[in-house]
Structure 1
């Protein structure tokens, strides 16, 4: 069987793409290894009618809705490789199963690489987050830290200051702020700690203290971090898809990459905020692009 589309990845982008293509009567395989980036998150926010939902519940509801459309097959597997085979693509999964497809939607999201700070994983997703729009409300008016080793430190600090007036920045031994940025932060009472962080301390996932290598400490009750984002899969790269400076696949408004028949959706084509609702919208757009192009192909024959 040759699928109209194989969707690689079952996060909000892939799930929404599967829903739209199912409603468009397309034969679709949604292949997902059930290892979502937001697995550490207790709640998802910013999605109207679903504000505060657990990610696992969101996926459960989505799978139930997709199941209404018999042309969509959901496969629990991991795609390892994809190659063009004439007019079609051949995808190989970890199980050894192969899939033939007329088009591919890359919805594998992005992988987070957190700063190498001892203990950071124990707090990530509980009291330390990466998106103020997702979790700033829950941390409002607390003493917060921004942990950042990259050029996004200043922007993150500015953004987080919308939710609290009690904030400091820790760059873990890196000098990532310009003098102008340091002055702007200082003028607003936001201290900058450039000392190396030894560890994070707290209990039950609740951050309480930043411990520096010189033995000094700073109290806080939560905060935000700017992780490095990278593609978790080499499928797009092996197919020749170009990426933007932030690691996302370059795609047009309907998800089309520079490779005909290959589309990118959600965080896979990341160029701005990483948000549940934006990822889902990206899945809709990519599905619309796939369907429109398949219609044009049929009418051209």
Structure 2
């Protein structure tokens, strides 16, 4: 393959981490292609918080501004497409997209995020990211001091309750079945006036994603306007694993401090690598990965 047809980097995923890396690499005059399928996990979230200069901005607007600024760098291009396969037959990575196009690059960066797996609770998916939320640092201030539901069980429930008690003292834990906290943890919850309800949740009543009440499987109804939840997820893209990249015990792509995966030449950044899901964290990881990829490209040429 002629070098003129070879990209320095292909970034798979064009949200905050991917765009941030794209800007870093564009400023290093690297030939970069960003490929994005247009399905961000925070599509329903009305506002993003805890990001300097853009606190309270709509996530889609942050992405729009970022894309506009990144594409001002002439060596960076963007395609709306879905990468469906990747291989490394001759020292370079070769990717194929759903539209049938093929691209080759020296390095890959996966900023593909994760896919949240919704529980079988009617109304939950419609409220997710709006009034059923995952992170107090992202959304806790806006719902501070409110009566708050928490849908979780086990050790994570205990630690999550501890953290959330900073934002509100009116917490009710919905364990969605028999509580699995040990006796000491239960005593600590009682000591801090946190009650729990073991009856499974049947459905969430809402208006356009704004929670009104929680209806249990026995018909009992509890009024709440906000709920926190920890739900399972899966990698949005299986391609990194197909290329040999390792996952850690939590199901995230295993990366070094500089965002390198377990496979040489492949990097990952953003929600697919960490439980710290926020725009600010993703942007920072994008800068790190872009800087390290550029450094590796420089070293490869010496």
Of the three residues 176, 190, 196, the one matched with 1:172 is 176
Q: What is the CA–CA distance in structure 2 between the aligned matches of 1:122 and 1:12, rounded to whole Å?
A: 23
Runs of 4+ more than 4 Å apart: none
1:202-230 CA-to-partner distances (Å, cap 9, x unmatched) read 33322122111122222222121101122
- 1:206 equivalent among 205, 210, 213: 210
| 1:73 maps to 2:67 | no
Partner of 1:28 in structure 2?
32
Question: Pairwise mapping of residues 1-301 of structure 1 onto structure 2 (< 5 A)?
Answer: 1-149=5-153, 151-270=155-274, 272-299=275-302
Please say which of residues 211-220 and 48-57 is displaced more in the overlay: 211-220
Instruction: Report the Cα distance in structure 1 between the residues aligned to 2:184 and 2:222, rounded to whole angstroms.
Output: 24
CA separation in 2, counterparts of 1:194 and 1:101? 52
Moved more, 255-264 or 194-203: 194-203
CA distance in 1, matches of 2:173, 2:182: 13
Contact between 2:153 and 2:181, CA under 8 Å: does it hold in 1?
no
Q: 165-174 or 66-75: which moved more?
A: 165-174
Alpha-carbon separation, structure 2, partners of 1:151 and 1:109: 25
- Cα shift at 1:15: 0.6
* Count of aligned residue pairs for this structure pair: 298
> Which stretch of structure 1 is more off in the superposition, 38-47 or 116-125?
116-125
TM-score, reference length from structure 2: 0.95
**In the alignment, is the contact (CA less than 8 A) between 2:123 and 2:206 conserved in 1?**
no
CA deviation digits over 1:244-301, x for unaligned, max 9? 111111111211111100001111211x4211111111111111111011100101xx
Decide whether aligned partners of structure 1 residues 51 and 239 sit closer, same or farther in structure 2, where only a CA change above 3 A counts.
Answer: same
